[in-house]
């Protein structure tokens, strides 16, 4: 089986732009399909579960056009699905099969819905019972109460309230609520048990309202949809970031120092799982909120032990089960029975895997009690049960300073295909080496990277490439907007020690004195620096990164585990550059080199954005009198002092 080995980690900090919310994406897609008019949905989640919904809508004849960057235009069918007979594969996407079952049952066609084997073990009986009460024709093809299902045309009667259970999954209520306006008649749903996961129903009501349908709610017991309402497109909609996915990054900040900021959800969010941040706060984490972002940082010492009712955030609650490993005492997660019928039996799965890390775990029908171990077991191989959340949760265990192997890591594709790259962007260790040009930092950084088995980023080369591309495109080196646009889409590639711009090998072309001077000029332009920021951060990958430049420690990777300021006297640096150029057979003049270097130092140090300076928390290494070997050894000592291990 495919697996991913995460290295021992001890810190997390950084910023993550969240992928779109799964719950909102799939609801919006269905409502847009059923409504009158054309809807543009932006920032849709790109994942297995949304692809299941998209494919199903296409199969029933809904007009759908991808317009790039996770945006789609959907031609609403005014409640009349064009294709009246279809066999639909639902994978393991609960947020697709439940609402589609209800919508198709009221659509007057012949449909079949099936999924992966686990989907055929996930209950849908309460929803089908609700639909049968109003005359729908739905038949079980296998076990009663479970998919696969076949659906046939039927005459719907709505003279009595629909009586529905709400204690297995709130998605059954969501499905009925979204489908009933298709009848155009007054409909009432009465809950026969307490409703779980209520915040998800709030998302449903919120989105239905945006599509012009009002639901009257009496507590959480009775829902009524007034007659003569139908869905109308609101035009352009944005999907907010996924609040359940945010939980892994916020927990990483709360465990690994932080701050970790997630962008895409905040105070304004309509998702219940944003309340995960409130729970983290109860554990002692420092939480800061903006309208569209949330940030988490660790408390002094460990997280506080907790005993919490987590019924309102069933998905994000899984993240707390792993956070419990980092608490100062036994923890209890209560009222989580719905975990048993999710992608896997999550209570059993969580218990089994937490034990592999060394925790003592007691599992009950609807609770989990986790006593953290004094030390984490190293090298645990975590099974993920085809459950994206198991994989994402257990990546956090590596922050206990132990290596963790995640089996079948691709299961994260269900909601976040880029999860491990994003996790690396906040958790992979970084050694930041800054300093003036010709201080030897490039050579030292490369050798340190090799010794640790880490990736290497020569950030100066990005400024050099921008200068080269700018000059080749005939741009003036003070054309800030033009150069920033070039920097943002630089077709640069680093491969086997060579540097390419498109297909051209420019390794030597970017090292000329003309480009050195040009790079220093473009590097002083704030828009160019901003354009290169995300690109540099994307180099932060497992098992770790050594990055050299001028602002690695101060701006690009402020949370770097080790920060080194590598410097040497201007005379020593000019002499090194002189020898390098002569060795390459290039013309060189010692006096001119020294002067150039001093001018460049001044420009790098005096510019308004990200000037060259030693950070307060960086170690200074002066290489004026040092050999390369000695400089490498000095940096290795600094990195190892921070707990990093070389190969
Ligand atoms: O490290 P180098 O000489 O290859 O860098 C080329 C130019 O880019 C230099 O003038 C400084 C600038 N630079 C920067 O401003 N910030 C970085 N992180 C790296 C380089």
**604 within ligand 1 shell (Cβ under 6 A):** yes
Residue-wise pLDDT tens digits, 283-321: 999 999 999 999 999 999 999 999 999 999 999 999 999
Minimum CA distance residue for ligand 1 atom 9? 520
Ligand 1 atom closest to 603 (CA): 10
**421, 438, 462 — which closes off a domain?**
421
What are the residues whose beta carbons fall under 8 Å from the beta carbon of 218, sequence distance 6 or more? 224
- Ligand 1, atom 6: nearest CA belongs to which residue? 460
Final residue of a domain: which of 192, 217, 238?
A: 238
- Nearest residue to 435 (alpha-carbon basis) of 161, 622, 212: 622
- Phi and psi (nearest 5°) for 611? -65, 155
Does residue 148 have a cis bond before it (omega within 30 degrees)?
Answer: yes
Same-domain status, 328 and 263: yes
Binned at pLDDT 50, 70 and 90, residue 605 comes out as confident
Q: How many A from CA of 589 to the centre of ligand 1?
A: 21
Domain span at residue 80 reads 22-238
Chain segment 528-561, per-residue pLDDT in tens: 999 999 999 999 999 999 999 999 999 999 999 9
Instruction: Write out the E strands in 536-629.
Output: 545-549, 562-567, 619-622
Whole-angstrom distance, CA of residue 175 vs CA of residue 639: 54
Are residues 146 and 254 both part of a single domain? no
308 and 368 housed in the same domain: yes
In ligand 1, the atom with minimum distance to the C-alpha of 607 is 15
CB atoms within 10 A of CB 145: 14
Same domain, 453 and 340: no
Whether ligand 1 lies within 6 angstroms of the CB of 445 is answered as no
Distances (CA, A) of 106 to 84, 224, 463, 592: 12, 17, 59, 81
Report which protein residue has its CA nearest ligand 1's atom 3.
Answer: 437
CB 359 within 8 A of CB 373: yes
Are residues 551 and 443 part of one domain?
yes
pLDDT at residue 293, rounded to an integer: 97
Taking the centre of ligand 1 as the mean of its atom positions, its distance from the CA of residue 627, in whole angstroms, is: 23
The answer to whether residues 203 and 272 touch, using CB atoms and an 8 Å cutoff, is yes
For residue 646, is it within any domain?
no
In this structure, are strands 404-407 and 3-6 parallel, antiparallel, or unpaired? antiparallel
511 Rama sector, left if φ>0, alpha if ψ -120 to 50, beta otherwise? alpha
Q: How confident is the model at residue 1, as a pLDDT?
A: 64
Tens-digit pLDDT profile for residues 565-596: 999 999 999 999 899 889 988 888 999 999 98
Does residue 464 have its Cβ closer than 6 Å to ligand 1? yes
Distance, CA 549 to ligand 1 centroid (Å)? 6
| Same domain for 574 and 462 | yes
Backbone angles phi, psi at 120, to 5 degrees: -75, -5
Q: Which of 192, 208, 238 is the last residue of a domain?
A: 238
Closest residue by Cα to atom 11, ligand 1, is 520
- By alpha-carbon position, which residue is closest to atom 8 of ligand 1? 460
**Nearest ligand 1 atom, CA 519:** 7
User: Helices 94-105 and 22-34, interaxial angle, to 10°?
Assistant: 20
Catalytic residue ranges: 315
Residues 203 and 277 in one domain: no
Same domain, 354 and 455: no
With a CB cutoff of 8 Å and minimum separation 6, the contacts of 345 are 339
Distance, CA 259 to ligand 1 centroid (Å)? 27
pLDDT band at 122; cut points 50, 70, 90: very high
* Residue 247 and residue 154 in one domain: no
Q: Does residue 68 have a pLDDT over 80?
A: yes
Please say whether the beta carbons of 193 and 221 come within 8 A: no
pTM for the whole structure: 0.89
28, 155: one domain? yes
The CATH number for 13's domain is 3.65.10.10
Segment 266-275 mean pLDDT: 94
Query: Does some domain include residue 591?
Result: yes
d(CA 410, CA 388) in angstroms, rounded, equals: 8
Q: Does residue 369 belong to any structural domain of this protein?
A: yes
Number of domains the chain is built from: 3
Q: Please tell me the predicted confidence (pLDDT) of residue 69.
A: 86
- For the cut 70, the answer to whether the pLDDT of residue 379 exceeds it is yes
Residue 191 tokens, joined: 């809950």
Q: If you count DSSP H runs as helices and E runs as strands, how many of each does the chain have, helices first?
A: 20, 31
Cβ neighbour number for residue 499 with a 10 Å cutoff: 22
Cα 478 versus chain centre, distance = 36
Largest CA distance in the chain: 95
**Model confidence over 161-193: pLDDT tens digits?**
999 999 999 999 999 999 999 999 999 999 999
Reduced to 3 states (helix: H, G, I; strand: E, B; else coil), residue 321 is helix
pLDDT at 101 over 80: yes
Structural domain includes residue 330 = yes
Contact in structure between 340 and 364 (CB atoms under 8 Å): no
- Structure tokens that stand for 456 in this block: 């290497």
Any domain includes 647: no
- Considering only residues 471 and 437, tell me which one the structure prediction assigns the higher pLDDT: 471
Q: What radius of gyration, in Å, describes the C-alpha atoms of the chain? A: 28
**Pocket flag, ligand 1, residue 550 (CB < 6 Å):** yes
Dihedral angle at the C-alpha atoms of 181, 182, 185, 191, nearest 10 degrees?
Answer: -50
Are both 149 and 260 inside the same structural domain? no
Q: In this predicted model, what pLDDT tens digit does every residue of 7-50 receive, in sequence order?
A: 999 999 999 999 999 999 999 999 999 999 999 999 999 999 99
Query: Alpha-carbon distance 452 to 442, whole Å?
Result: 16
Q: Are residues 11 and 68 in the same domain?
A: no
CATH assignment of the domain containing 522? 3.40.50.300
**Ligand 1, closest atom to CA 516?**
6
Backbone angles phi, psi at 271, to 5 degrees: -95, 135
Q: How far is the CA of 640 from the centre of ligand 1 (A)?
A: 26
């Amino acid at each position: 089986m495919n697996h991913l080995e995460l290295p021992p980690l001890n810190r997390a900090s950084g910023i993550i732009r969240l992928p779109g919310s799964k719950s909102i994406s799939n609801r919006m897609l269905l409502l847009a399909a059923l409504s009158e008019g054309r809807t543009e949905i932006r920032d849709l989640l790109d994942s297995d579960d949304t692809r299941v919904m998209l494919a199903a809508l296409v199969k029933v004849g809904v007009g759908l056009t991808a317009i790039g960057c996770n945006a789609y235009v959907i031609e609403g069918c005014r409640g009349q699905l064009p294709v009246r007979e279809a066999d639909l594969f639902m994978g393991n996407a609960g947020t697709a099969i439940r609402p589609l079952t209800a919508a198709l049952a009221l659509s007057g066609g012949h449909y079949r819905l099936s999924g992966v084997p686990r989907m055929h073990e996930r209950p849908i009986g309460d929803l089908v019972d609700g639909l049968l009460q109003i005359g729908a024709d739905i038949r079980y093809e296998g076990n009663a109460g479970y998919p696969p299902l076949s659906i046939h045309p039927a005459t719907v009667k709505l003279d009595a309230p629909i009586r529905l259970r709400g204690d297995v999954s709130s998605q059954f209520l969501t499905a009925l609520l979204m489908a009933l306006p298709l009848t155009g008649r007054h409909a009432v749903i009465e809950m026969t048990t307490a409703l779980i996961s209520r915040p998800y129903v709030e998302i449903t009501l919120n989105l239905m309202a945006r599509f012009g349908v009002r639901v009257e709610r009496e507590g959480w017991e009775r829902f009524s949809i007034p007659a003569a309402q139908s869905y109308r497109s609101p035009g352009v909609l944005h999907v907010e970031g996924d609040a359940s996915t945010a939980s892994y990054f916020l927990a990483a900040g709360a465990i690994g120092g932080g701050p970790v900021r997630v962008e895409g959800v905040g105070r304004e969010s309509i998702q219940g799982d944003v309340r995960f941040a409130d729970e983290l706060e109860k554990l002692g984490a420092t939480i800061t909120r903006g309208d569209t972002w949330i940030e988490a940082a660790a408390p002094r010492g460990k997280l506080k032990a907790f005993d919490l009712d987590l019924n309102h955030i069933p998905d994000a609650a899984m993240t707390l089960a792993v956070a419990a490993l980092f608490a100062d005492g036994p923890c209890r997660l209560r009222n989580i029975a719905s975990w048993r019928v999710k992608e896997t039996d999550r209570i059993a799965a969580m218990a089994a895997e937490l034990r592999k890390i060394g925790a003592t775990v007691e599992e009950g029908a609807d609770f989990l009690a986790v006593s953290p171990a004094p030390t984490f077991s190293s090298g645990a191989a975590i099974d993920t049960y085809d459950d994206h959340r198991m994989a994402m949760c257990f990546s956090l265990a590596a922050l206990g300073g132990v290596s963790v192997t995640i089996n079948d890591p691709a299961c994260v594709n269900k909601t976040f295909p880029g999860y491990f790259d994003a996790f690396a962007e906040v958790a992979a260790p970084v050694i930041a080496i800054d300093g003036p040009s010709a201080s030897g930092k490039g050579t030292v950084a490369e050798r340190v990277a090799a010794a640790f088995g880490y990736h290497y980023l020569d950030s100066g080369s990005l400024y050099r490439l921008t200068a080269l591309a700018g000059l080749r495109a005939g741009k003036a080196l003070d054309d800030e907007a033009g150069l920033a646009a070039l920097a943002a889409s630089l077709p640069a590639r680093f491969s086997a020690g060579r540097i390419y711009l498109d297909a051209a090998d420019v390794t030597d072309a970017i090292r000329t004195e003309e480009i050195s001077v040009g790079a220093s000029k473009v590097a002083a332009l704030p828009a160019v620096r901003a354009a290169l920021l995300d690109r540099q951060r994307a180099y932060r990958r497992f098992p770790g990164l050594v990055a050299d430049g001028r602002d690695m420690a101060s701006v690009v990777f402020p949370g770097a585990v080790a920060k080194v300021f590598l410097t040497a006297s201007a005379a020593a640096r000019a002499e090194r550059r002189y020898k390098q150029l002569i060795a390459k057979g290039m013309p060189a003049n010692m006096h001119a080199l020294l002067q150039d270097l001093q001018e460049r130092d001044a420009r790098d140090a005096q510019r308004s954005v990200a000037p060259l300076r030693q950070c307060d928390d960086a170690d200074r290494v002066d290489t004026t009198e040092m050999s390369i070997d000695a400089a490498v050894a000095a940096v290795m000592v600094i990195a190892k002092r921070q707990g990093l291990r070389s190969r």
